[in-house]
Amino acid sequence: MGNLRPVLLISLLILGYLLWIEWQKDHAVPPAGPVTIEDKAFVAETPAGELDLPQVDEQDFDHPPAKPTGDTPADNTAAPAGAAPITVVTDVLSVTIDSVGGTVVSARLLNYPVQLDKPEEKVNLLSPRADALFIAQSGLLSKQAAPNHQSTYNAAQRHYELAAGVDELRVPLTWHSSEGVRVDKTFVFKRGQYDIGVRHQLHNDSDQVWSGSRYEQLQRVWTGKGEKGGFNNPEAYSFKGIGFYNPADKFQKIKFDDVADEPYSKTASGGWLAMIQHYFFAAWIPPAQEQAVYTTQQIQPEGGPRYIARLVAPPVSANPGEHLEFNSRLYLGPKLQNQLEEVAPGLEYTVNYGIFTVFSKPLFWLLSHIHGLVGNWGWAILLLTVLIKAAFFKLSEAQYRSMARMRKLQPRIEQLKERYGDDRQRMSQAMMEMYKTEKVNPLGGCLPILVQIPIFIALYWVLLESVELRQAPFILWIDNLSARDPYFILPALNAGFMIATQRLTPMAGMDPLQQKLMSLMPLVFGVMFAFFPAGLVLYWATNAGLSLAQQVYITRKIGAGEK
């Protein structure tokens, strides 16, 4: 039995795993066009009657009038429907808020260009377009007058910008009812932060007790299971769907396709809800100890299905002349792993490492600390590879020593093949006797590779899923570690290391088919890595180069008679 058999099997296992995740992509999603605020298709969806509020009689909302109760202001100061949107600019966000509902319909992330060669075009997490809808809605529900996401607010101005030297920016909206109920909805933006405070202050100047609840929801269109694009499109592999968290159940993921068949419903405290995609997400985060009802819903308006993730807070009351205050936070931004836990407990689970989280999280922690020392993600990957290689040095040494001894036995194996010809049984018996006499374990190289496979795959997901490495430059021709090597130098270098390693590896005892497969591995991995993000190939090529150097060193020692 040749010592390369376990190497071949493990290589095929890794290749099969990568091909398996590639085959999960069934249908491409049409690219979204430019965002236009003029499209008001989202306003007509989800009438108030579809909001599931267990504490309020649902039939009260089943058939709302054309203009729901409380939508008509008591004065003429409110902006008419279709008024210009409200824009808010901070150092990290450019947000658009619609006067209808105070709905957040656009969120440009100013530190994240869509493409490096077009730095002026920023990632826009939200969109009001009917065919690419993704919006964040909030409001109040009550049998009395209350503004929901279809109500019209008044704003004192249409543009707000965080001034230099100022750490906080408040954007006030106002709604009045003819019954004497006034609600001030205020968005609070802070410098350097992606979480936005959302506060509803209710003033009950009516002659009746006001009772109602606060709700928040994310709503979006999703037309496919995932994007195509092959290995050069990391977004094709990342989870896209709805996420819920609470301390008891931890993090739960729901694919958009599963919402209609299995609607989610949970009453929990200390939780949050999110809609997640590659690198970025949106989340509603209620007060930490608040108990809320979390649900999902699929609706079928004209144009296709839409998916809603919603939370409804417990009802509260205000006597005539009293005031109430409702608070929540809206996160619109990247999956910055070192900051998410500070924003809210459990928010770090939005980073999709899957079953390899137990390995991936420590690896990212180590990688980020190395980056803090060297200031470049490419050098951090190189140094991390060296550290991982050092950690497995002894295991790898045993593997290469076994290979080196097998190489010394290769002439004797060839003699056995000539002696026994096609009698494979006699051949195998003779080889096993020789291995026993020479104290060589033909499977000695298998365990080290098996132990390292979870580490390799875990690091694959770290490099694939970490927004910190998105568009990160390295040196020379590699200006984006999250995109493929433009000149295919790293894949070619890795293939060269694999070919050189094969020349040091004994193939005696392998049948012709296995030898052909083994010979093809550098070509297969070279083509596959040509479309991988450069950061992944940098790790793999560095690891292959270090492995080759270690194997050359040990082979020479064994060849010189050292043990």
CATH number of the domain where residue 247 is located = 2.70.98.90
Note whether 337 and 462 are same-domain residues.
no
What does the pLDDT read at residue 484? 84
CB atoms closer than 10 angstroms to residue 370: 20
How far apart, in Å, are the Cα atoms of 301 and each of 32, 132, 221, 309, 387? 19, 14, 11, 16, 54
Note whether 202 and 282 are same-domain residues.
yes
Note whether 314 and 449 are same-domain residues.
no
Q: Is residue 74 assigned to a domain?
A: yes
Q: Where is 6: in which H helix or E strand?
A: helix 4-23
What does the pLDDT read at residue 427? 74
pTM of the model: 0.78
Q: Is residue 359 assigned to a domain?
A: no
Q: Is residue 264 assigned to a domain?
A: yes
What does the pLDDT read at residue 544? 84
* Phi, psi (degrees; rounded to nearest 5) at 284: -100, 130
Q: Is residue 401 assigned to a domain?
A: yes
* CB proximity list for 34: less than 8 A, separation 6 or greater: none
Q: Is residue 512 assigned to a domain?
A: yes
Domain count, the chain: 2
Burial of 298 (0-12, 13-18, 19+ CB in 10 A): middle
Domain edge (last residue) among 294, 325, 352: 352
Cα–Cα distance measured from residue 86 to residue 79, given in angstroms and rounded to the nearest whole number: 11
Note whether 306 and 424 are same-domain residues.
no
Note whether 388 and 449 are same-domain residues.
yes
What does the pLDDT read at residue 281? 96
Note whether 310 and 425 are same-domain residues.
no
Give SS3 for 274: strand
Contact 110, 334 (CB under 8 A): no
Domain edge (last residue) among 318, 352, 386: 352
Note whether 118 and 157 are same-domain residues.
yes
**Domain range spanning residue 275?**
41-352
Q: Is residue 29 assigned to a domain?
A: no
Cα–Cα distance measured from residue 10 to residue 399, given in angstroms and rounded to the nearest whole number: 14
CA 463 to chain centre: 11
Note whether 395 and 298 are same-domain residues.
no
Contact 409, 441 (CB under 8 A): no
Residue whose tokens read 């459990």: 346
Q: Is residue 495 assigned to a domain?
A: yes
Note whether 275 and 307 are same-domain residues.
yes
Cα–Cα distance measured from residue 480 to residue 482, given in angstroms and rounded to the nearest whole number: 5
What does the pLDDT read at residue 359? 87
Note whether 288 and 384 are same-domain residues.
no
Cα–Cα distance measured from residue 85 to residue 128, given in angstroms and rounded to the nearest whole number: 12
What does the pLDDT read at residue 13? 53
Domain edge (last residue) among 284, 318, 352: 352
What does the pLDDT read at residue 215? 96
What does the pLDDT read at residue 318? 94
Q: Is residue 46 assigned to a domain?
A: yes
CB atoms closer than 10 angstroms to residue 196: 25
What does the pLDDT read at residue 8? 47
Note whether 194 and 332 are same-domain residues.
yes
Question: pLDDT per position in the chain (563 positions), as tens?
Answer: 344 444 444 555 555 545 444 444 333 333 333 333 333 333 333 333 333 333 333 333 233 322 333 333 333 333 444 568 999 999 999 999 999 999 999 999 999 999 888 888 999 999 998 888 999 999 999 998 999 999 999 999 999 999 999 999 999 999 999 889 999 999 999 999 999 999 999 999 999 999 999 999 999 998 764 455 444 455 566 788 999 999 999 999 999 989 988 899 999 999 999 999 989 999 999 998 899 999 999 998 877 789 999 999 999 999 999 999 999 999 999 999 989 999 999 999 999 887 888 888 899 999 999 999 999 999 999 999 899 888 877 776 666 666 666 666 667 777 777 777 676 777 777 777 777 776 666 555 555 566 667 877 888 888 888 899 888 899 889 988 888 888 989 888 888 888 887 776 655 555 566 667 767 777 877 787 888 888 888 988 898 888 888 777 776 765 555 55
What does the pLDDT read at residue 29? 38
CB atoms closer than 10 angstroms to residue 434: 14
Note whether 134 and 219 are same-domain residues.
yes
Q: Please report how many Cα atoms fall inside a 13 Å half-sphere around the Cα of residue 141, on the Cβ side.
A: 28
